[in-house]
Structures are given as structure tokens and as C-alpha cells.
Structure 1
């Protein structure tokens, strides 16, 4: 981790899948539905959970295996997205302690928002399922701009909208691209180690400022 002085933030930005919401089961069940249309074996929760934040293509690669390019991947991706949209919150919920953490931020008048690589047509539907998101000051999706994480521009865009200084902002995410984007935006970065953090590079080498094991740790740090 990087050594850096911690100050109370003007605002906190969060990744979505694997950080705020545990979407893995709905994404995995969608993958298994697609595989069933091909008469292929399903993938277990233990297998798909670490890949859940890699999007439809990442999950399809997992399910289809080494010869994934021999399939009509774009057609299968369309089937995947249609099914997921129609079943987007069947099993999804906040990670334990996260809803309470967001409420604490509201009580302390600390602004917060969402910056995700999830496409807007999915993000917008998903967030309406949970009333807590009415307090989010901005929701930036993977196609809101022409670039997405690990490019820092979506984070700068969120800060500009919220009228906060990026250097006085925290970014919390569970993927290496989240930490890369946050560091490039000169934010204080937090690894949500309860999420889908599997990567070739160990989290200790992601160059984050902090690794936290549960959302309530944010509360403790702010206090």
C-alpha cells in the first residue's frame, strides 16, 4: 500500500458490482442460462464469483472455455444482457454493512456517488431497485463518457458534477482498474476486499492507500 496522510473526505465515490452490491449470483445465473441454451455444463458459484466484475464477456469466456472464440460471442452476449436485465435484482443485495455505511455518510453530510464500468442501461435499472441510491449525487456508467476505468476521467467527471476536489475524494473499489483510476485521479484509494478482488496481481501490490475488509471500516476511519 502507498503511504499517504488521510484526511476527512469532501466526498466518496464507489464502484458498484463487488463494492456496493453483491451482484455475483444474478450474473452467474445469467451465465448458466446462456450455457443451458448451448447444452453446456453450468459454472459453480465458486468459479464465477471472482469473475463477476469482468462483465458479460469475461463471464462468457469463463463458461465457454478455451475455445470461446469459436462461438457467436456477440450473439451470446446479447442473450446474456437481455436475460440479466430481466433478472437484474433477483439475488442481488448490498454487502453486509454497506447500506448502514451509506446512511452514516448521509448523516454526516458527506457526498457520495457511483462510478462503474457497467453500461448505463443496466446501471440505471439496477439502482432503481434500492431506495438508498436516491441519495447518490451522481451515477457514472461505463458508457457515460467515451472512456471508462482505469481511465481517471469518469472520476474527474463525477467530482466536477459534485463540485468536490478529487484530491479530497476517496474512491472505493474491488478491482485493480478501480485503484488505478483512483490513483491517476490523485484520490485516496480503498480496496473493498469483500468484493471480487481476484487478480493475477495480489491486492497488496495494487498501490492502494488502504485495504479494508468490511464497509464499517470506512465509518471508523471517518470518525
Structure 2
């Protein structure tokens, strides 16, 4: 999904302007990967394993704790020790939540502009609430609506969480845009009948091809979201 650095790839001109914009969390709204660099490598050091490059860890952050558990100990999900190590990984992560996370550059201004425009916003994430709430609190982020994987029967790419967010904002799904950095985000938006935007600055694996996601639009930087709004 190639595009000029200053121009989002978009078909938004034919899409209605949103009443709300919903964001995935890790790799979209927040650059939370630095929290996991030390989580993964400190566990590896404890077990006598060599440290992994930060770029390798970064690629897996949007895939969640299960993928990071597999990466940390070089195991598969069907390994007999997976469940035990996943618990160990998540317990260890609790001590690092928000330690190095930041909004991606540009989002402070984007969220302020959304407020000025009267456009609501929210967070829809597959991250469990027990980690999401302390992370947002540590960064001082007060989203009008936050939906986590454990709030709904089915996590993304199912539409459940996105539909719940729209309902809490008293909106129809078609009145919302959804921004994410993984194909599951784009699929979830499509399944919820929301306009989908691929965040190409997020945690995209080197083997992945965002063009194949068939998002309605894509952005290289957070501020390009405002360009999409101007074109809608």
C-alpha cells in the first residue's frame, strides 16, 4: 500500500464523515513496544537465553501476550509448557506496564483537534482490561470509551468490541471509523460495517503486506487522519 509520505492513501472522499473515530491501542494509538523490550529480554536473561533484537520484539507486540510468550521462549502455542510460561510472562509484564509507552508522535494534536471538531473517540483493543486501565492511567489518557477483549464474547476480528463501543457512544457503526495496525483490525471494522484505516506506522511484521488487508484507507502518520477528515 504505497503512498507519498505527506499524503494518506484514501478513498475517504466517498465516505461519510465520522461521528467518532475508534483506535486500536498497541501499535496504533500507543507506541507500547518499548515496555516489552525489557519484559522479553529480562525473562530470557533469567533463563540463560541471549537477548533478542528490539525490532524482532516490536513486530510481535500487536499479536499480544501469547505471541510474545512464544517469542520469548521460542516455543509454539501447543507446547505443553505454553500456559505456564504465558502466566509467567503476563505476571512479569505487570511490573513494566506503561514504563516506556508513549502516544505515537502527532496523536496529542490529533485528539485535541477531534475534540474541537466535535468528533468523539475511543479505544477498542484486544488487550485485557487489567493491563489496559493501568497503562492508560499511567499515561494520563482519558478516553470517552474503552472496550477490551474481556468486555465482549468474541475479540477482534469479530465485530463485538467495535459494536459495543459504537453503542456506548450512542452511534450507529456506520458513523464510526476504526484505525488499526493489523489485519484483524481491518477485518473487525469490515465485520462491524465501519470505515477501516490501516496505521502503517504500527507494528507490522516484515513478512506482512498491508495492501492485502484491503483497508478503506491507510495513513503513514497520525496527523494524516486529519487529512482524511478534510476529504470526507
Interval of TM-score (by shorter of Structure 1 and Structure 2)? over 0.9
Matched, 1:186 2:212: no
Conserved? CA contact 1:42–1:63, under 8 Å: no
Alignment size in residue pairs: 221
Task: Determine the C-alpha separation between the residues in 2 that align with 1:99 and 1:114.
Answer: 15
Moved over 4 A (4+): 1-4, 66-71
1:129 to 133, 138, 146: 138
**Cα distance change on mapping 1:144 and 1:85 into 2, 3 Å:** same
Shift of 1:185: 0.8
Mapping for residues 135-146 of structure 1, pairs under 5 Å: 136-146=143-153
User: What is aligned with 1:14?
Assistant: 23
2:215 to 170, 192, 208: 208
Shift of 1:63: 2.6
User: What is aligned with 1:159?
Assistant: 166
SS of residue matched to 1:42 = coil
Conserved? CA contact 1:88–1:126, under 8 Å: yes
SS of residue matched to 1:143 = helix
Conserved? CA contact 2:177–2:195, under 8 Å: yes
User: What is aligned with 1:59?
Assistant: 68
Task: Determine the C-alpha separation between the residues in 2 that align with 1:195 and 1:36.
Answer: 27
Shift of 1:28: 2.5
Task: Determine the C-alpha separation between the residues in 1 that align with 2:75 and 2:130.
Answer: 30
Gap regions ≥5 residues in structure 2: 2-9
| 1:155-195 deviation line (CA, Å, top 9, x unaligned) | 00110110111112100000100000001111110000000
Conserved? CA contact 1:34–1:79, under 8 Å: no
User: What is aligned with 1:221?
Assistant: 228
1:85 to 76, 94, 107: 94
**What RMSD over aligned residues (CA atoms) do the two structures have, in Å?**
1.9
Gap regions ≥5 residues in structure 1: none
Task: Determine the C-alpha separation between the residues in 1 that align with 2:76 and 2:177.
Answer: 40
**Cα distance change on mapping 1:67 and 1:115 into 2, 3 Å:** closer
**Cα distance change on mapping 1:13 and 1:117 into 2, 3 Å:** same
**Cα distance change on mapping 1:187 and 1:70 into 2, 3 Å:** closer
